[in-house]
Structure 1
Amino acid sequence: MQKSCPAAVPLLLAFVCLWWTYEGQPLWAAPLPKIHTVSLGSVRKTTYTPPGAGEAVSLPLRPLVIDGRQKEWTTGDPHDITDRSFVIRRVLKLNDALPGEAPRWTWQPGPWLLVDRNTGHITALHLPDFDPVVSDAIWYRDYAAYCGLSTTTRGGLYFVVAQLNGRKAIVSKKLGPLPAQPLQQPPCSGIAWQRDPLRVSVTPTGAQPLSFNVQGTAASLVEDDEDEK
């Protein structure tokens, strides 16, 4: 409803008056930002056969829906980074057909996604040495801890702690050589975070547990005698 102008005002002022809303705001003001809706759909289950495992395992799938449209398939629980953003793991649908075969679609866990609830924007994360088949990130705040594979000249199996949007890993501890064949079991287990002091621990398969104190973008290995204090 627009404000009415007094009949006595000149025609020019009446014309200007019509450009204002009843709230006193100009009609030419910038429109309000679009409100986006971000949600995760119901869970459905499929199977996934890790390379070298021989047996299929259950893989829960959930659609990531932005403004009523499905954008990605995801798996696992989301982790809130801030009150407006979260990370969740993507699932890829790959064609496993050999040359000359008909399409043979299969599901496989993929990289992590960063989702902004306010803008609806989705960003694929490139975590250092993260391997979709081997790695399973455990998050705390904006830190991710996982075992990964490096294919550089000094490559091998590494324990990695990475910070979101960080240029390099905070922790990159070599655990062993690059596996000659697909791993038959997870390369590490028992990744656990501690708040005060900020510390992450991991138990590599067949090796002694390791702990690292994390300070901002740096970390230090916790020695055995320090734990005993």
Structure 2
Amino acid sequence: MQTLRLAVVPLLLFFFCATLVAAVPKVHSVTLGPSRHVPYTPPEANPDNKSDEATTLRVRGLFVDDRQREWTVGEMHEVTDRSFVIRRALRINDALPGESIRWSWQPGPWLLVDRVTGHITALHLPSYDPDVSDAVWFRDYAAYCGVATTGKGGLVAVVAELGTRKAVVQKVIGPWPMANAPHPVCSPAKWQRTPIRVTFDLTAGESMTLDVLGASSFIEEGESSDQ
């Protein structure tokens, strides 16, 4: 009986230590790789503009635990001390039926990345159009020109907030599609901190300033991990 008791003790210690190890959350490493230039054709390409800036994108790999999860383009925006947003870069097959595969790089939607859990979430910003919208971030708000898909439609000024499905502010600023529309249609939005407001400038039109009311939404930063 004494021998049985001595054998049970190490077994209990093993299960106890295994439980402690399982309870410790996994720490993830989220990094951006080195940049590389890839060929790019913008939606409204000017054939006379053949500069590197107009015909290439600077993309970087997004790595979680040394495993590449996405390609990204542009700079990240720190939302909180544990999460940031960055735009995804897509490789799209641009071949017509019957043609060989023809890969084309394009800027895609925005991603929300949690450094602690390693979780990556694709953001579905309201009225966001990759060919029209150029999101400018402040705190957890994104301001951009978008294309309304409901009602009468039109070109709209949008302020979206993480954690909400509907736009905080959305106002029609012009018809869409727009005849002889310049590219880009809007200049990057300009933010003001106190009071919180944002100004939109149409490339060929008047400016519009909108107030943003309310406090920041609750961003869901969960404890579950993407292992």
Could you say which TM-score interval applies, normalised by the shorter chain?
0.7 to 0.9
Aligned to 1:68: 66
Equivalent residues in 2 for 1:1-229 (5 A)?
Answer: 14=6, 17-18=9-10, 19-20=12-13, 26-30=16-20, 31=22, 32-55=24-47, 56-180=54-178, 183-216=181-214
User: Where does structure 2 lack aligned partners over 5 or more consecutive residues?
Assistant: 48-53, 217-227
Who wins on radius of gyration, i.e. which is larger? Answer: 1
Cα distance in structure 2, aligned partners of 1:163 and 1:217: 10
How does the TM-score come out when normalised to structure 2?
A: 0.82
Cα distance in structure 1, aligned partners of 2:199 and 2:42: 26
Cα distance in structure 2, aligned partners of 1:20 and 1:209: 69
* Overall identity of the aligned pairs, in %: 53
Cα distance in structure 2, aligned partners of 1:81 and 1:46: 28
Q: How far does residue 96 in structure 1 lie from its aligned partner after superposition?
A: 0.7
Letter in 1 for 2:165: R
Is the 8 Å Cα contact of residues 41 and 65 (structure 1) preserved in structure 2? yes
Q: Per the alignment, in what secondary structure is the counterpart of residue 16 of structure 2?
A: coil
Q: How far does residue 34 in structure 1 lie from its aligned partner after superposition?
A: 1.4
TM-aligned CA distance change 1:119 to 1:90, over 3 Å? same
Q: How far does residue 69 in structure 1 lie from its aligned partner after superposition?
A: 1.1
Cα distance in structure 2, aligned partners of 1:79 and 1:97: 34
Is the 8 Å Cα contact of residues 79 and 85 (structure 2) preserved in structure 1? yes
Q: How far does residue 193 in structure 1 lie from its aligned partner after superposition?
A: 1.1
Is the 8 Å Cα contact of residues 33 and 63 (structure 2) preserved in structure 1? yes
Cα distance in structure 1, aligned partners of 2:44 and 2:188: 23
**Higher relative contact order (Cα pairs below 8 Å, separated by 6+ residues):** 2
Aligned to 2:221: none
Q: How far does residue 54 in structure 1 lie from its aligned partner after superposition?
A: 3.7
How does the TM-score come out when normalised to structure 1?
A: 0.82
Cα distance in structure 2, aligned partners of 1:70 and 1:89: 15
Cα distance in structure 2, aligned partners of 1:102 and 1:49: 18
State the aligned residue count: 207
